[in-house]
Amino acid sequence: MIKSHSYNIAQKVAQLIMPRLDLRLFDENTNYRDFIYRLCELDIGGFCIFNGNMRKAYETISDLQKRVNIPLIFSADFENGLRMRLEDGTDFPHALALGHYGDAKAISETAKIIALEARSIGVCWNLAPVCDINTNPKNPIINIRSFGEEPEIVGIAVQSYIKSLQSFNVAACCKHFPGHGDTDIDSHLDLPIINKNLDQLLKLDLLPFIQAISLDVKSIMVGHILLPMIDKYPATLSKLIINDLLRDLLNFNGIVISDAFDMKAITGNYVFPDYLIQSKKAGIDVILLPQFPETVIKIFSEKAEIDNEFESSIENSFNRLIELKSWVLSQEKPDDEINLPENERFALQLAYKSIRMEGINSFIPLNENSRIAVFAYIEDDLDKAVTFFRYLSQAFQGECDFAFIDNNFTQQNAESYAEFLDISEIFIFAFFLRGKAFKNQLLLNPEVKKWINNLMKVKTVVTIYLGSPYLAQDVNSSLKIFTYSDSLPSIAATVMLLCGRNI
């Protein structure tokens, strides 16, 4: 057991800082590797990992653990599996797919596999699940990361995820308190504003968090969200929201971690390092991804030397983190080999069961005597659309033409595809559009909608939503297929559905 009095204030401060660890940079850049080693010498509390693969993660984590006095804790955003941040590991359908499927046992099994794969590489803190409720279809960042539009659905899914994850001593983290679902701004780019009072939050947005607290969820992440009807400061800087609401009213005693402090919601509106000091005073225990972590340690340490209240907050947070570390380290890394093929098969089955069709589906599976034209609507991720085309070309034995369209689509583009009208019987549009970081809107090009609506008058049109389902309300088609995810198993399951292939 780690004793608080055994360490000085600088060491205790360092424990509460969780910087980014880019595994690829660590492997390739000597200066970056030396920077990470310096943080270890300062007794940093842990790292949040990005990039690289499972092998590199395991090797790097093992290396760093040997260099510290207090065991490190490693976190990651493994919401729908390790593939969310790494190059390998099992890629699961996103939360919205699981929520719409509605099988609590499937969610538990998903969380179990994520926990075992995470622990196998040394990650014991999963910054998941997302507890936000999708109350705003235009939300550019939560979207398919949420389990659903209703608090009951989200609550049941969140409970299943947390119970399973934490049964394997991987700490869960409910985010983004007090609810990021009703926003239309990405906090990576600017500060979202939610005009709700406490009563409104308690009746909707906070319900999944309250259920999670009843299950002893180990941590809660506070989002960079401004709620002016409660406080003039964003939630991550608000004592009213963190201390008075989360700690006192909701009786949460676990770790409170901030959302990433490299996001423009804070860095673009407040002054460094003042906002970090204010966040600590407000009740944040662990500072996630701060800019200049060495500087933050120095500033916090100096502040604690002259401010007894600040020092007390450091002491309390240090004790909470040490308690969390003791809990996650009480179970050894799993001895069993991770069976990735078996896990991937489960993910594929889950993706297939999560698909929903709406409209006329009598022509599914596709007749191989038919000729089809397939368009992938993409933004910036060409790879997933290419994968969809490749899978479909392999599975469908008939004549098939492929093309990409994007937000730059014009009437002239529509005219250039006129040749397909004569030779193709079925038009398929796969929309690879979903909420993601650093994108402040989720909209379809009006010219694309107009073209599809015109095609509907003379052809059979299938629209597939490999991502946000909320775009479907603006598009007419004979058949709408919802996967609620652009994960690899969701893409594969869609092709299998179209072509009548069995899993």
Confidence band, pLDDT 50/70/90 cuts, at residue 370: confident
Q: Look at residue 333 and tell me if it is in a domain.
A: no
Q: Look at residue 443 and tell me if it is in a domain.
A: yes
Q: Are 227 and 177 in contact (CB under 8 A)?
A: no
Residue 336 reports pLDDT greater than 90 = no
* Rounded to 5°, angle at Cα 473 from 467 and 478: 90
* Rounded to 5°, angle at Cα 160 from 158 and 161: 65
In this predicted structure, what is the pLDDT of residue 472? 94
Instruction: Kindly report, residue by residue over 218-235, the tens digit of the pLDDT.
Output: 999 999 999 999 999 999
Residue 333 reports pLDDT greater than 90 = no
Which 8-state DSSP code applies to residue 237? G
Measured CA to CA in angstroms, residue 25 lies from 52, 56, 447 at distances of: 9, 11, 42
Enter the tokens of residue 259: 């959302």
The shares of helix, strand and coil residues in the chain, as percent rounded to the nearest 5, are 45, 15, 40
Mean pLDDT score, 268-296: 97
Which 8-state DSSP code applies to residue 469? G
Domain around 204: 4-328
Q: Give the Cα separation of 392 and 382 in Å (integer).
A: 16
**Residue 101's CATH number:** 3.20.20.300
Enter the tokens of residue 15: 């424990």
Q: Based on the structure, what is the number of domains in the chain?
A: 2
Mean pLDDT score, 11-37: 98
Q: Are residues 304 and 388 in the same domain?
A: no
Q: Give the lowest-confidence range in 129-133, 146-150, 184-188, 479-483.
A: 184-188
Domain stops at, among 264, 296, 328: 328
Residue 47 reports pLDDT greater than 80 = yes
Q: Are 259 and 176 in contact (CB under 8 A)?
A: yes
Q: Are residues 468 and 416 in the same domain?
A: yes
Q: Which amino acid is at 344?
A: E
Backbone angles phi, psi at 367, to 5 degrees: -75, 125
Q: Look at residue 338 and tell me if it is in a domain.
A: no
Mean pLDDT score, 359-373: 93
Domain stops at, among 284, 299, 328: 328
In this predicted structure, what is the pLDDT of residue 3? 59
Q: Give the Cα separation of 372 and 184 in Å (integer).
A: 36
Q: Give the Cα separation of 255 and 319 in Å (integer).
A: 10
Mean pLDDT score, 267-272: 96
Q: Give the Cα separation of 222 and 329 in Å (integer).
A: 25
Mean pLDDT score, 143-157: 96
Using CA atoms in the order 213, 50, 355, 206, what is the torsion angle rounded to 10 degrees?
Answer: 20
Q: What beta strand segments (E) does 321-476 contain?
A: 356-359, 371-377, 399-405, 426-431, 460-465
Domain stops at, among 328, 358, 390: 328
Instruction: Kindly report, residue by residue over 386-434, the tens digit of the pLDDT.
Output: 999 999 999 999 999 999 999 899 999 888 888 888 899 999 999 999 8
- The larger pLDDT score, comparing residue 72 to residue 441, is at 72
Residue with tokens 């409660």: 230
Residue 4 reports pLDDT greater than 60 = no
Q: Which amino acid is at 453?
A: N
In this predicted structure, what is the pLDDT of residue 439? 65
In the chain, pLDDT over 90 holds for what percent of residues?
86
**What average pLDDT is seen over the chain?**
94
**Residue 404's CATH number:** 3.40.50.1700
Q: Give the Cα separation of 156 and 160 in Å (integer).
A: 6
Q: Are residues 290 and 402 in the same domain?
A: no
